[in-house]
Amino acid sequence: MPESSPAIARFYRLMEQTRPPMRADRSAAGTLPTRAYRYCEAVTAAAGYGWWVFPPTGLRFIWDGADIFWTCDALEDWEPLSPSAQYPGFSDAFDAAAPGMLQGCAPPMLTAMPEPGALQIWTGLMVRTLPGWHLLVRAPANLPLTGGFTLYEGIVETDSWFGPLFTNLRFTRTHSPITLRPDFPLLQVQPVQASSYCDAILDSTDLVPGMEGLGEDDWRDYHRTIAVPNEDPDRPFGAYAKQARRRRKSDAPVGLSGQCPMRNSVGR
């Protein structure tokens, strides 16, 4: 990719202690079974699709069923969350850097949601994407969460909405500490084309109601995909994975214009 090509996603770090985003790892940080990593392209492609985003700092929570208590690496004691909290000293740092019209507008790191046990966490980041590209914000793919909570997913129109990159979670246990490590991914953000989830695309589906609806081409493709490999006792392991990786190396990602978006998208 030429150096002049714009990045498809540009992250802005506002909290200096926050770990920078990193490309998601196809081995899910080494947690995938060796056989899956070597031979299951579907699993590794999903694990490596996007970027990992980390908690803004080391965080610990306790939810008693009604109230949320929290602490972080910069604090010694637990504090009640009512309804929001800043990282210690961040408001002053924000006001020192922001223009006058934004004084006092530092985003909170934590916000208790109206629903019981629901919490919003700001990652310490903001992000822009190229026109026509949005970000799916979700839990890391194929990487188990640390336990005690679940994450909501969302698609953010980051080509036009420029604000804090946050996530919402829901606690699933009470009266027990829940820890978010600053070096363990909290989120995976994945680029999606805006057109790929519009109603016109998602309503464009069809159903073949029974096997009598399969045509000759369908049966031929099934035979090639399933029967032929199993008829070869000397077939190599991971043939699909090898073919998919070969295609990925030779085929450029197709954008809305039919060309590689990293080479041809217009910058802001």
Q: What is the pLDDT of residue 6?
A: 85
The number of distinct structural domains making up the chain is 1
**Cβ-count burial 80-91 (b if 16+ within 10 Å, e if not):** ebeeebebeebb
Q: What is the pLDDT of residue 256?
A: 37
CA distance 136 to 199: 17
**Phi then psi dihedrals of residue 33, to 5 deg:** -60, 145
When pLDDT is averaged across residues 136-146 and rounded to a whole number, the result is 94
Q: What is the pLDDT of residue 232?
A: 76
Question: Does residue 132 form part of some domain?
Answer: yes
Question: Does residue 242 form part of some domain?
Answer: no
CA 107, 16, 138: angle at the middle one, nearest 5? Answer: 60
Q: Which residue has the higher pLDDT, 237 or 227?
A: 227
CATH of the domain at 50: 2.70.40.10
Q: What is the pLDDT of residue 260?
A: 40
Q: What is the pLDDT confidence band of residue 265, given thresholds at 50, 70 and 90?
A: very low
Q: What is the pLDDT confidence band of residue 182, given thresholds at 50, 70 and 90?
A: very high
Question: Does residue 176 form part of some domain?
Answer: yes
Q: What is the pLDDT confidence band of residue 112, given thresholds at 50, 70 and 90?
A: very high
- Percentage of the residues of the chain whose pLDDT score is greater than 70: 85
Question: Does residue 252 form part of some domain?
Answer: no
Domain that holds residue 112: 9-199
**Phi then psi dihedrals of residue 28, to 5 deg:** 55, 50
Question: Does residue 65 form part of some domain?
Answer: yes
Question: Does residue 23 form part of some domain?
Answer: yes
User: Residue 151 has which token pair?
Assistant: 């994450």
